[in-house]
Amino acid sequence: MKKNSKVLIALASGLALGGLLGLLFAPNKGKDTRKKITDTRDKFTGSIKDSVNKGKEKFSELRDGVKEKIVVLNEKVKEFI
């Protein structure tokens, strides 16, 4: 799981950096370039926020599942004793 996360982070960072460099070397006015950079940054941060929120939801689901299993296990242990 950690390896996949690192790969995704590296991929997202590479895409963002590539996009930023493409904008910086594009033959546009400074004002237009700054606008594009701001728009790209906003899209990227929105994407990161979405990914973080999905990760939080997944973690909560896993945590709740573990809690339920612990409750069931405790009940079985009590029945056994």
For the chain, 81 residues long, give each residue's pLDDT as a single digit of tens: 567 777 878 888 888 888 778 777 777 787 887 888 888 888 888 888 888 888 899 999 999 999 999 999 999 888 887
Q: Residue 50 phi/psi, 5° resolution?
A: -60, -45
**Contacts of the segment 29-33: beta carbons below 8 A, 24+ positions apart:** none
For residue 47, CA distances in Å to 8, 12, 13, 53 come to 12, 10, 12, 10
Overall pTM > 0.75: no
